[in-house]
């Protein structure tokens, strides 16, 4: 992998500096400003990123436009496909390095990220398989004088804005279909995790992509994301992040009448029936809410459990949670790392205080890990709360599970659907009839039966309600990046009355 910026060590300091990537060149921001990326485990600055302003966004959008109208736009789907396969291979070859960068940026587990990076190449392979299969249709017209067909063309320059919790995978969910469609992109990663995206982008040049196909803007300034989302040179916006930010992004995109995909927050239910395999359910509940320190949009943070098995399931989950190995996220044996940054840490602790004030019983965890210090929060299980409790309604984005009981199936579904979000859900039962019946009534874009938190390039992902608009992954994600053009061919050669519509 090439280093993104030549001579990138900052003189006299130990941290490496990373530039913006615009038109294939690593460059400082026009203002020359930089900002630090802090490793949430060590609390130390580990890298420095260029701090772009709106004027850098202009340059990046112009570079993406030039590539779209130039070398990239001239390629056929077959040629794009070949490049994407090479990129997929390079991602897999560099999985370990990319994973280490993500861990330093965000404190996520190496154990998870290395698997994620190895799998991520598969997204480029999957969409490479679609790049050469973009077909229009021949459409029968009511008037036999016409032949009508459609072609599907790339929408143009895409603005991608990503969060800190899985920067490269969530970029890939946008980039792979956008490349397959023939679009170019400007991405702005989160200010909390800027580095991995810059390094990843250098792989496109190594794979042989023309300059300017993917441009990276790093910035710690809020107005820069807004400038990109509302840029008049952009044709579509793809965003993953908080619901409140998503509303601002959608408003900015709408001003340009641009299409937008939004992958937003969640408060996903896991319903456990009395006949479930409780060992498997406990494992799935753990995977849902404690993996990635609970910092996943699809976190199964509301456990809705039949009252007959409530005590046993809470005992199983709490015992496993209390025994979890917290520590250095770079250590492959670690099961949970720190919360990713200070604002997020404060937010999680604030939720725990509110929950206790509202009457929660703390079955395990409940606060910071005093031995480890830093941003470590112990995996927490809260019981005894009503469905109106704040922690049962609001996204915590941390390792906090709230538990509520039910008696009848209808009641479980009512509780599960009593949320403005609709991203994911889980159903645990051995009854095949009930499994499908209940899964079919959870208002969410992704439901797992007897499992949780599984994704694939071929399976659509996205949310209902406040969890977003549009879908990523799967064949239909290509539609987000393609325009339809209808072409009418006059066959008779006759002229017609010019004053009436044909």
CA-nearest of 444, 399, 409, 441 to 425 is: 444
CA-nearest of 127, 60, 193 to 482 is: 127
Q: What is the DSSP string of 473-494?
A: SSGGGGGGGEEEEEEEEE-S--
Long-range contacts for 403-407 (Cβ within 8 Å, ≥24 apart)?
403/303, 403/305, 403/310, 403/314, 403/363, 404/302, 404/303, 404/304, 404/305, 405/304, 405/305, 405/306, 405/307, 405/310, 406/271, 406/304, 406/305, 406/306, 406/307, 407/306, 407/307
Q: For residue 484, list its beta bridge partners.
A: 152
Closer CB to ligand NAD, residue 105 or residue 278? 105
Least CB distance to ligand NAD at residue 225 (A): 2
Chain residues binding ligand NAD by CB under 6 A are 161-165, 170, 188, 190-191, 222, 225-226, 229, 240-242, 245, 248-249, 263-266, 297, 395, 397, 423, 463, 468
Closer CB to ligand NAD, residue 67 or residue 238? 238
- Estimate to the nearest angstrom the gap between the alpha carbon of 273 and the chain centroid: 30
Active site residue 263: yes
**Contact predicate 489/147, CB 8 Å:** yes
Least CB distance to ligand NAD at residue 423 (A): 6
Active site residue 395: no
**Contact predicate 281/272, CB 8 Å:** yes
Least CB distance to ligand NAD at residue 297 (A): 3
Tokens 């694939």 belong to 456
Q: Of the residues 102, 112, 191, 297, which is catalytic?
A: 297
Closer CB to ligand NAD, residue 205 or residue 242? 242
**Contact predicate 262/249, CB 8 Å:** yes
10 Å CB burial of residue 347 (0-12, 13-18, 19+) is middle
Closer CB to ligand NAD, residue 131 or residue 447? 447
Closer CB to ligand NAD, residue 327 or residue 337? 337
DSSP classification of residue 359: T
Closer CB to ligand NAD, residue 146 or residue 464? 464
Least CB distance to ligand NAD at residue 72 (A): 24
- Please calculate the CA angle 58-64-67 and round it to the nearest 5 degrees: 140
Comparing every residue's Cβ against ligand NAD, the nearest one is: 225
Q: Of the residues 102, 263, 335, 395, which is catalytic?
A: 263
Least CB distance to ligand NAD at residue 467 (A): 6
Distance CA 39, CA 35 (A): 13
Least CB distance to ligand NAD at residue 142 (A): 43
Beta-carbon count within 10 A of 27 CB: 16
Least CB distance to ligand NAD at residue 172 (A): 12
Closer CB to ligand NAD, residue 49 or residue 305? 49
As annotated, the active-site residues are 263, 297
């Amino acid at each position: 992998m090439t280093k993104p910026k030549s001579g990138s060590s900052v003189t006299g300091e130990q941290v490496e500096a990373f530039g913006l990537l615009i038109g294939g060149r690593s460059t400082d921001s026009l203002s020359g400003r930089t900002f630090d990326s802090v490793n949430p485990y060590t609390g130390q600055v580990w890298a420095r990123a260029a701090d772009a302003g709106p004027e850098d966004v202009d340059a990046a959008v112009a570079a993406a436009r030039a590539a779209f109208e130039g070398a990239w736009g001239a390629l056929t789907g077959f040629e794009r496909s070949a490049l994407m396969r090479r990129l997929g291979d390079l991602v897999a070859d560099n999985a370990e390095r990319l994973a280490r960068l993500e861990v330093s940026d965000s404190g996520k587990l190496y154990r998870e990220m290395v698997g994620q990076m190895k799998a991520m190449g598969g997204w480029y392979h999957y969409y490479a398989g679609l790049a050469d299969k973009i077909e229009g249709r021949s459409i029968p017209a009511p008037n036999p004088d016409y032949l009508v067909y459609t072609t599907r063309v790339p929408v143009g320059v895409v603005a991608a804005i990503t969060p800190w919790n899985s920067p490269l995978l969530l970029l890939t969910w946008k980039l792979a279909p956008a490349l397959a469609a023939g679009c170019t992109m400007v991405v702005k990663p989160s200010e909390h995790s800027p580095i991995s995206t810059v390094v990843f982008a250098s792989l496109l040049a190594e794979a042989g992509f023309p300059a300017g196909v993917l441009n990276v803007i790093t910035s710690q300034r809020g107005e820069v994301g807004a400038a990109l989302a509302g840029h008049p040179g952009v044709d579509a916006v793809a965003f993953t992040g908080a619901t409140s930010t998503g509303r601002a992004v959608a408003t900015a995109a709408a001003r340009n009448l641009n299409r937008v995909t939004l992958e937003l927050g969640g408060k996903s239910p896991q319903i456990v029936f009395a006949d479930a395999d409780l060992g498997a359910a406990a494992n799935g509940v753990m995977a849902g809410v404690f993996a990635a320190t609970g910092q996943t949009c699809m976190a199964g943070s509301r456990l809705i459990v039949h009252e007959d098995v409530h005590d046993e399931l809470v005992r199983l989950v709490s015992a496993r949670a209390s025994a979890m190995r917290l520590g250095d996220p770079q250590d492959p044996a670690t099961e949970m790392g720190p919360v990713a940054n200070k604002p997020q840490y404060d937010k999680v602790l604030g939720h725990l205080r509110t929950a206790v004030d509202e009457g929660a019983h703390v079955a395990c965890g409940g606060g910071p890990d005093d031995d480890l210090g830093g941003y470590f929060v112990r995996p927490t299980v809260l019981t005894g709360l009503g469905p109106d409790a704040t922690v049962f309604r609001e996204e915590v984005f941390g390792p906090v599970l709230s538990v509520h009981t039910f008696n009848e199936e209808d009641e479980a579904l009512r509780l599960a659907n009593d949320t403005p979000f609709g991203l994911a859900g889980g159903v645990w039962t051995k009854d095949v009839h009930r499994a499908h019946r209940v899964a079919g009534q959870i208002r969410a874009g992704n439901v797992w039966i007897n499992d949780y938190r599984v994704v694939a390039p071929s399976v659509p992902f996205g949310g209902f309600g406040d969890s977003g608009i549009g879908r990523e992954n799967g064949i239909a994600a290509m539609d987000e990046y393609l325009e339809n053009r209808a072409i009418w061919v006059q066959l008779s050669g006759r002229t017609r009355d010019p004053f009436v519509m044909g």
